[in-house]
């Protein structure tokens, strides 16, 4: 039998860890979310990376976004950290899951759990072997595009509306592949909240298309946007992420119901990996050290 690699009060629980790629804190705070509203949150947090790669590297090595309120405790005030490496500096309070392997992924696998990943942005594309997290997972399912398939080069904004890792997970769980007796770590990176910010519930008018083209152009130029464009993009972008999150919330409710039927508890952790600038300080995109990028929402619950 594999050597146990997990300790803490929730060491025997399943872990469902979902990152909502590029989701801003204020977009989450503005949304009507009956399913996510059953969890604790959105807790205003500070993330450790201003784009997907460093943010997830921090998460998988045990450094989740930290509450802006340094005194915040999760899950009814019990835990200062939800999961954390045993070798790190002691946390100022109890840790729900502590692990001693390199990552939370390898620790769950070493403990005998089934470890599954699903992702939708190119840093999770198994074909990008040098900068992909997919090879770290014993099982991985990718729902996104190749990084080499750019918008405007045979790829449309509308196509992205049908790429959702959460939808894939819902359908996968509905098919019944989870052994209720076995511990699971299920990680999901959700691409809908990431550029081009589309899902079946969002509009994609000619005006939307023009704004997406302008947004993408200035991201690539890495230059400030004009004031007029910034004033238009900010409410538009926040509202698009709000609509997408409300659309995802319905599927999340279905996932939570499925997890409640398992024989062991599940620790659910959902957060933005980083935010997105929509004209804040005349900047767009991420890779920026702005509050709009570094402040993210986090939800947690034991189901």
pLDDT higher than threshold 80 for residue 105: yes
SS3 of 171, please? helix
Residue 47 or 258, more confident: 47
Q: Where are the alpha helices (DSSP H) in 47-92?
A: 52-60, 74-77
Instruction: Report the C-alpha gap between 81 and 96 in whole angstroms.
Output: 7
pLDDT of residue 178: 82
Q: Give CA separation, 126 vs 104, 118, 164, 298, in Å.
A: 19, 11, 17, 27
Percentage of the chain beyond pLDDT 90 is: 81
Question: Average of pLDDT values for 128-150?
Answer: 83
Question: Average of pLDDT values for 243-271?
Answer: 94
pLDDT higher than threshold 50 for residue 26: yes
Question: What's the full length of the chain, in residues?
Answer: 303
pLDDT of residue 2: 46
pLDDT of residue 1: 38
The model's pTM: 0.95
pLDDT higher than threshold 70 for residue 87: yes
pLDDT higher than threshold 80 for residue 236: yes
Residue 129's CB: how many other CB atoms inside 10 A? 9
Phi and psi dihedrals of 137, rounded to 5? -100, 135
Beta bridge partners of 119: 142
Domain boundaries defined on the chain: 6-302
Return contacts of 38-41, CB within 8 angstroms, 24+ apart. 38/256, 38/301, 39/268, 39/270, 39/299, 39/300, 39/301, 40/74, 40/75, 40/76, 40/299, 40/300, 40/301, 41/270, 41/297, 41/298, 41/299, 41/300
Predicted confidence (pLDDT) per residue in 178-223, tens digit: 888 899 999 999 999 999 999 999 999 999 999 999 999 999 999 9
| Residue 141, both tokens | 């399912």
- What CATH architecture applies to the domain 6-302? 3-Layer(aba) Sandwich (3.40)
Cα atoms in the Cβ-side hemisphere of radius 13 Å centred on 60: 21
Residue 121's CB: how many other CB atoms inside 10 A? 25
pLDDT higher than threshold 70 for residue 64: yes
Mean pLDDT of the chain: 93
pLDDT higher than threshold 70 for residue 150: no
pLDDT of residue 4: 57
């Amino acid at each position: 039998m594999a050597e146990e690699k997990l300790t803490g009060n929730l060491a025997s629980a399943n872990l469902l860890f979902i990152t909502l790629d590029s989701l801003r804190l204020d977009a989450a705070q503005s949304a009507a979310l009956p399913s996510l509203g059953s969890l604790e949150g959105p807790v205003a947090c500070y993330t450790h990376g201003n784009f997907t790669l460093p943010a997830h590297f921090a998460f998988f090595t045990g450094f989740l976004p930290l509450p802006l309120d340094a005194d915040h405790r999760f899950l009814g005030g019990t835990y200062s950290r939800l999961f954390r490496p045993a070798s790190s500096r002691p946390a100022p309070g109890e840790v729900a899951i502590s692990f001693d392997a390199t990552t939370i992924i390898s620790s769950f696998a070493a403990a005998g759990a089934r470890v599954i990943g699903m992702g939708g942005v190119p840093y999770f594309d198994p074909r990008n072997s040098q900068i992909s997290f997919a090879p770290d997972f014993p099982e991985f399912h990718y729902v996104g595009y190749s990084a080499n398939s750019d918008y405007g080069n045979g790829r449309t904004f509308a196509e992205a509306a049908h790429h959702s890792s959460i939808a894939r997970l819902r359908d996968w769980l509905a098919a019944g592949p989870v052994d209720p007796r076995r511990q699971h770590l299920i990680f999901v990176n959700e691409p809908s909240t990431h550029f081009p910010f589309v899902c079946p519930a969002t509009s994609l008018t000619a005006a939307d298309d023009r704004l997406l083209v302008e947004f993408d152009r200035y991201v690539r130029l890495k230059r400030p946007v004009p004031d007029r464009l910034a004033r238009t993009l900010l409410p538009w972008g926040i509202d698009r992420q709000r609509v997408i999150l409300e659309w995802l919330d319905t599927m999340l409710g279905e996932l939570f119901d499925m997890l409640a039927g398992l024989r062991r508890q599940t620790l659910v952790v959902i957060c933005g990996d980083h935010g997105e600038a929509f004209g804040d300080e005349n900047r767009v995109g991420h890779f920026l050290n702005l509050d709009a990028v570094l402040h993210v929402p986090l939800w947690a619950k034991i189901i």
